[in-house]
Chain A
């Protein structure tokens, strides 16, 4: 089954009365459990594509189908519910609410989702949050303020938040873009683990090392998908180099 199916997607911005077609007739599909990276030069429309297919941004034309639901048919409240319960978002900048601790930031969407479900449900949420933080190795920073932790820890906290409601799919916009190599590795390890557990992931990246760990890479140029490279499931860290090399060659062919 397809997690995401995109048909004839167009996105146009009007800037100073000039039309700027950022996405032009995009057609793509992402299967359930798949991890897909989107690469391309700056300004090619990668982030716009991510935001458009995740319902974060309006589309000019076309249709986006998310787990069988046509997103064009959903109203604002249904879209909110979809984002809350079935989607997870990870941004390049580790956006969190300043007035809340790391832990409270993580559980906030779950509390919102379960606001009428009583004390027991909140206990469940807390257990899940602790388990997720433990898995991602950030248990010790739970009560910290967001300014008191490293970028890697913060991004892992953002991943925890995106997973707290057991989403069907995660959208990640340059999840390692603001991290150093070590932190970047750790974050990708977590994303691969999550994907291995069955969560579909679509991510935008500039980093070949990151993209090489996904099942498939889409190459975007001037608002069009110019090509795609299918690796198959990433299983072993040892094959990383080989995947990176293959990807590098392919990207050179694409003109990256």
Chain B
């Protein structure tokens, strides 16, 4: 008898059971893939650094290939447990020529994103991986490029490069795009390409080539080693603490990961929402039958058992299907989000997904148990009356039709239904709200990074154009050539009748310490040079004006334990400069560490470590026009506007965010459509009688469709308003800390723009509306005799 009722139930309520099954599949898929992704993303960078074998300490230094005093020091130092020195050759744009590019067949000029070198595939430290996360191996005549370099030059696997070093030149075919844990991050100002040992040895045979040596050091005692190292005063391009610093370089990827976490949390919330809705709804649907079962003497436990078995059967099937689907779904989401990191998904995901699927079965049964618990308290007749005891004290009719002077009946019914059944439509509202937040929250970092003001958060001033002459390294050793180039630019522009001013921000790598030298950090000290006169953003105090004045970032101030009015020492090699702090600023460059001295500060040019680019300012001309004119006059230089320059500096994170946005919008649209269809179908099943009644009263199918669609669109409109408010309120707490980690402790986030507020809601309206319309088409199939199904 028990199973007979169950069998009949499964057959007769096919639609509702299928809807429940689909919801369980979706819930499992969302939960399993999201939890799995959360775990993967959370430990992704650590895992990446681990498998790449990133050492405790890293250094990059130039060498003639003969004397290596750093290697000697490392060998003798008692605080070093192991070390490796890797030989590479520095490459400038002129050393590389594109000989084959599928995307741009005519292209031959290669443009580096930053300092670039070529070396062999590392075997012990600083390992690299292919895009599919497998280990890199390179044969003769082959070359592998980091993703940022390949993207910057529109290169892909199969394209060819000609590299000339000294007297030897060789053509290489690109066989892999690599993920490089140490230098792959766009924030890292050094990139490397990989060739085979045989090819590298060919170049190495030449005399008089300058090597760029990469040192990886694991220490017994890090602090003692650091102290020993600082004492040696080696001239290096860069020396950093390994894992800690490298981890911070992936901050942009963490930004993407934070967005992925937001997506995952929203999907998990959604899974619970839809599950609760469906189970409560389907059990309410059955109240009448439950009442009859009670009336004929079936015990509460018997009824409960019946439902538990039914939901167990459906949830096991649904959870299994969801479990299977969670793998491709999670993989697609993760693949869209994380492109620079090797993510470890192999070990935990099978177990995590199983746990999530089992959890869904448990949750379904718990919801079912709690929903059927209510049955104990109500009589058979109350159950037959669908949970109502016949007593009503307050009418639910909040909105009066007769008070509506103009509102059309279908619209009135839609609004009145929502107001009368807020709980039922609340699920749809919450789903849509989450969708809106899912779209608007990631727009905040994307728009902030795209805003004009953001360049000031990188310690730079806003200019009309940014010129990369490709001679950055040359300028640091021969600063006169830089001034010559700047004068040349101004002169050539003047010949064309354009009055321009040029400038650069010169960077010195210095060890900065407080007055007592108790706390010390290595950071970039910037100095403005050239014919222009810029002002920089200051959080408190004022910009340095005198030769002995300096402003420092909040993070530097915190680390050194100093403030405005205090004195700090900046040391390069054997020279020590003393500065008085006049102001505090913020910078996302170098993870928030940095200083800026006045143009009057007399720092030895020998300590120059690099410049970003030459900036150009032209009065009475828009940036776009300036760039166009400069491109005409200087075809050999790379001309960028502020946005392009920033993109060049921080890598493709904005493009990546844009791609992710397309993906998120796609997911939101699919979820909205799916939930709309399922919830509309569910509600329509309950409303068959009402629809039939309205039809019998003479309502056309069109007006009934309009009634059904209007409800969805009204809820969507409300969700857009609520979601927008919530996103704007939540953004500083969710996105703000990510920027703070990068150094922008008090950044003004740029939320969605007016265009976003129009485009995305419109898109949601159109797509959701179309699916609601399709689903509402079901009203034409409702038989008028269904009027008898009104309870």
Which A residues form the contact surface with B (CB < 8 A)? 51, 56-57, 76-77, 80-85, 87, 89, 91, 93, 95-101, 103-104, 107-109, 111-113, 115, 119, 122, 126, 129, 143-145, 147-148, 161, 165
Contact = CB atoms under 8 A, between A and B. Distances in A.
B66 interface: no
20 contacts: A83-B695, A83-B698, A84-B699, A85-B698, A89-B697, A97-B693, A97-B694, A98-B396, A99-B397, A99-B416, A101-B400, A104-B401, A104-B402, A109-B697, A109-B698, A112-B409, A112-B698, A115-B409, A129-B402, A143-B395
Contact of B784 (A51, A101, A115, A145): A51
A81 to B, nearest CB: 7
A56 B699 contact: no
Nearest to B405: A119
A81 B402 CA distance: 22
A122 B401 CA distance: 10
Contacts of A112: 409, 697-699, 703
A117 to B, nearest CB: 11
B790 A108 contact: no
B696 interface: yes
B397 A115 contact: no
B382 to A, nearest CB: 13
A98 B687 CA distance: 11
Contact of A83 (B395, B689, B690, B697): B697
B699 to A, nearest CB: 6
B788 A93 contact: yes
Contacts of B396: 98-99, 145
B4 interface: no
B388 interface: yes
Contacts of A165: 698
B390 interface: yes
Nearest to A118: B406
A66 to B, nearest CB: 13
Given A99-B416, A99-B421, 15 more contacts: A77-B700, A80-B695, A80-B698, A82-B698, A83-B695, A89-B697, A91-B787, A96-B693, A97-B693, A99-B417, A100-B416, A111-B401, A112-B697, A145-B392, A147-B390
B696 A56 contact: yes
A145 B409 contact: no
A145 B697 contact: no
A103 B405 CA distance: 16
A80 B703 CA distance: 11
A81 B698 contact: yes
A108 B697 contact: yes
A56 B784 contact: yes
Query: 6 closest A-B pairs (Cβ-Cβ)?
Result: A84-B698, A145-B395, A83-B698, A104-B401, A99-B420, A80-B700
A97 B697 CA distance: 12
A144 B695 contact: no
Contacts of A101: 395, 397, 400
Contacts of A111: 401, 409, 412
Contacts, number: 109
Nearest to A111: B409
B405 A122 contact: yes
Interface of B: 388, 390, 392, 394-397, 400-402, 405-406, 408-409, 412-413, 416-417, 420-421, 689-690, 693-703, 780, 783-785, 787-788, 790
Tell me if B's interface is mostly helix, strand, loop or mixed. helix
B696 to A, nearest CB: 5
A115 to B, nearest CB: 5
A84 B694 CA distance: 10
A114 to B, nearest CB: 10
B785 A107 contact: no
Contacts of B392: 145, 147-148
Contact of B397 (A93, A100, A129): A100
A93 B412 CA distance: 25
Nearest to A77: B700
B783 to A, nearest CB: 8
Given A103-B402, A104-B402, A76 B693 contact: no
Nearest to B698: A84
A76 B697 contact: no
A80 B388 CA distance: 33
Contacts of A98: 396, 690
Nearest to A162: B697
Given A99-B421, A145-B395, A107 B402 contact: yes
Contacts of A89: 696-697
Contact of B401 (A91, A107, A119, A161): A107
Contacts of B413: 97, 99-100, 108
A170 to B, nearest CB: 13
A108 B788 contact: no
B702 A97 contact: no
Contacts of A95: 689, 693, 787, 790
Nearest to B790: A95
A144 to B, nearest CB: 7
A113 B698 contact: yes
Contacts of A87: 698
Contacts of B395: 101, 143-145, 148
Q: Which of B409, B693, B787, B788 has the most CB of A within 10 A?
A: B409
Contacts of B700: 76-77, 80-81
A159 B496 CA distance: 90
A76 B780 contact: yes
Nearest to B392: A147
A104 to B, nearest CB: 4
B270 to A, nearest CB: 27
A145 B397 contact: yes
Nearest to B397: A101
B12 to A, nearest CB: 15
A248 to B, nearest CB: 30
A184 B702 CA distance: 37
Given A85-B698, A95-B693, A108-B697, A51 B785 contact: yes
A136 B408 CA distance: 27
A95 B394 CA distance: 20
A175 to B, nearest CB: 14
A144 B694 CA distance: 20
A80 B697 CA distance: 8
Nearest to A76: B701
Contacts of B693: 95-97
Contact of A93 (B400, B402, B790): B790
Nearest to B403: A104
Contacts of B420: 99
A177 B697 CA distance: 20
Contact of A84 (B417, B690, B697, B702): B697
A56 B695 CA distance: 9
A96 B421 CA distance: 17
Contacts of A122: 402, 405
Contact of B702 (A77, A145, A147): A77
A166 B373 CA distance: 50
A83 B704 CA distance: 15
A77 to B, nearest CB: 5
A205 to B, nearest CB: 17
B790 A100 contact: no
Nearest to B408: A115
A176 to B, nearest CB: 17
A100 B408 CA distance: 15
B674 to A, nearest CB: 27
B421 to A, nearest CB: 7
A143 B699 CA distance: 23
A98 B420 CA distance: 10
